[in-house]
Amino acid sequence: MKKIYKVVSAALLTVAVAVSVAFAGCGKDVNGSIDMDIDLSQKPELSILMPSSGFPIEQVNSDSNAKVIEQVTGYKARYTQLPSADASKTLNNELMDKRHYNAMKLTKSQFADLVKDDMLVDITEALPVFGPDLLENISQESWDVVTVDGKIYGIPERASSDNIENPIVFNNDLLLKNNLDLPTTLAEFENVLKVLTEKLGRPAMTFDKYTPLVFAVSAAFGIYSEWQEYTVNGNAQVLYYMNAPRYKEYVDYMNSLYKKGYISQVVGTNTFTDVLNDFTAEKAGCMACSIWNVTAIVSGLQANGKITATEAAGTLENNLAYLRALKENDGSQEKVYRSSGYTYITAIPFYEAKDAGYALDWMNSKIKDTDEEHNFRSIVLGEENVHWMQNANGDYLPIAANFAEKDTASYYLTGSNEKKYTAYWTARVRKQPELFRAWSTLMRNADEVGVYNVVDFTPPITEYNSKRSAIEEYAQDQFYVMLKDGSGNIAQYLEKLNGQNGCKSATDAINEWYKTYKHK
């Protein structure tokens, strides 16, 4: 056994040396430093690597929002985009070839891989010089996501708003016709499904194959998020939802509804389109989905002749109702998942260290938003009385004729002004009156009831990042098995989840980080 190990080790060492030589051949200067004395009045053209947009690169470069950024920053930027397939492989090849990119807009997993491989510039000391507005308008919580061993390697782009966004949407017309109120407890929910199933002559509830956690239901069992803190045997620890103390109860409850015929028998193969079509054609009384599907629901109701075009342009109190979270019983506390996190992180490749100041200055200019310079507002919201206006309460309202020009604005962000983004972003939600009503309904006292996914705020954790896909896919698959068959084999499923699929080692790594995070 030892002999085999030595042979394998030697092989791995050979590979490691080859990789090191390859990077040495690329001219990597491990001690390369950022030039702090560059002349910012002489702004070079920047080359920026972006994620796939779904549009031709010529369209990306000619977009009106790209032009706005050029105007407010003074920098001409030339954008290149990664392909939609095999993006990370292409990214690695580009870096191996030392392609000239002043900055790269990366997914969180891509960022984690590049930090691990020492492929990014440490910008810690340069930020006070070139990024004062970045430091002022991005929270410490966000900087922690891009900090490894005390060094900052990227600019975090936090979500525009921390939303409660996974309701069960009910056909309120059916509820009203059957003298039913929106349920608040598990018992009430089952009764509503029972009545609606009898009236419809088919299962009342539907959702798609990518919904192993119906958050509005799992909340009644203390499961609010995919990863959250639980107290087990007196000890607080972060666990994946399948390992939650009451996950079995959640499964048993859903299995009971399924066996009684209250949940669609084909949820395990349903696409979102299937779910949408059933609900808007009144073949289902409720659907679990994202709040961002409300616009599609309104369109579907109109297409099916359930509402008129005039009704579709307004709010639909009589047609749609939103269940945020069930409570176990009347005395229970209401809590529910609130999304957040970082879809993208913008970083600088190691071989561009010397001129990193220009990229940081460009990103700093984009986030600047003062009484004198509304750069960030101009990018994400546009021009007053052209794209938006304000009402007497100071709310930002979209001007329908022109606001569509800002639909692609978020693609060009490289960090967000966290102090102002949510206020601007609500203009986008207001584009569709029913969507805004739904969002406002779910966001009521959000700070009191919202629970975050712990891993949304982690810096790169290799043991979790490498296991994430396997963990999530396995948990999803086994939920649909147990939905039909019950939880009799749950111990076996958990053993495989934690062992073969790596959830135990990922959990341990997350908890090691969480100890420091919790006590900050």
Determine the Cα–Cα distance for residues 436 and 146; give it in Å rounded to an integer.
Answer: 32
**pTM of the complete model:** 0.89
- Three-class DSSP category at 454: helix
The yes-or-no verdict on residue 343 having pLDDT over 90 is no
Question: What pLDDT, on a 0 to 100 scale, did the predictor assign at position 518?
Answer: 73
Question: What pLDDT, on a 0 to 100 scale, did the predictor assign at position 517?
Answer: 85
Evaluate whether 41-161+341-396 and 168-337+453-518 have a shared fold: yes
Q: Which tens digits make up the pLDDT trace of 179-230? A: 999 999 999 999 999 999 999 999 999 999 999 999 999 999 999 999 999 9
Distances (CA, A) of 257 to 273, 350, 390, 419, 486: 23, 55, 47, 44, 11
The yes-or-no verdict on residue 431 having pLDDT over 80 is yes
Question: Could you tell me which of 491, 474, 453 has the C-alpha nearest to residue 145?
Answer: 453
- Three-class DSSP category at 204: coil
The yes-or-no verdict on residue 7 having pLDDT over 90 is no
Distances (CA, A) of 408 to 146, 413, 428: 25, 10, 12
Q: How would residue 11 be classed by pLDDT, with cut points 50, 70 and 90? A: very low
Mean pLDDT of 384-389: 97
Q: Quick check: 193 and 257 in contact, CB under 8 A?
A: yes
- Three-class DSSP category at 188: helix
Q: Which tens digits make up the pLDDT trace of 96-117? A: 999 999 999 999 999 999 999 9
Question: What pLDDT, on a 0 to 100 scale, did the predictor assign at position 9?
Answer: 31
Mean pLDDT of 262-289: 97
Strands 147-148 and 151-152: antiparallel
The yes-or-no verdict on residue 18 having pLDDT over 80 is no
Question: What pLDDT, on a 0 to 100 scale, did the predictor assign at position 434?
Answer: 98
Distances (CA, A) of 355 to 26, 37, 50, 103, 358: 17, 10, 19, 10, 6
Question: Domain limits of the chain?
Answer: 41-161+341-396, 168-337+453-518
Compute the mean pLDDT over every residue in the chain, rounded to the nearest whole number. 93
Q: Which tens digits make up the pLDDT trace of 20-67? A: 333 433 434 444 699 999 999 999 999 999 999 999 999 999 999 999
Determine the Cα–Cα distance for residues 341 and 111; give it in Å rounded to an integer.
Answer: 14
Question: What pLDDT, on a 0 to 100 scale, did the predictor assign at position 25?
Answer: 37
Type of residue found at 389: M
Mean pLDDT of 428-444: 96
Mean pLDDT of 418-422: 96
Fold of 41-161+341-396: D-Maltodextrin-Binding Protein; domain 2 (3.40.190)
Bridge partners for 77 per DSSP: 46
Bridge partners for 337 per DSSP: 451
Fold of 168-337+453-518: D-Maltodextrin-Binding Protein; domain 2 (3.40.190)
Question: What pLDDT, on a 0 to 100 scale, did the predictor assign at position 403?
Answer: 96
Q: How would residue 395 be classed by pLDDT, with cut points 50, 70 and 90? A: very high
Question: What pLDDT, on a 0 to 100 scale, did the predictor assign at position 519?
Answer: 57
Q: Quick check: 80 and 101 in contact, CB under 8 A?
A: yes
Q: Which tens digits make up the pLDDT trace of 157-166? A: 999 999 999 9
Please name the helix (run of DSSP H) or strand (run of DSSP E) that holds residue 230, with its range, or none: strand 227-232
Q: Which tens digits make up the pLDDT trace of 71-105? A: 999 999 999 999 999 999 999 999 999 999 999 99
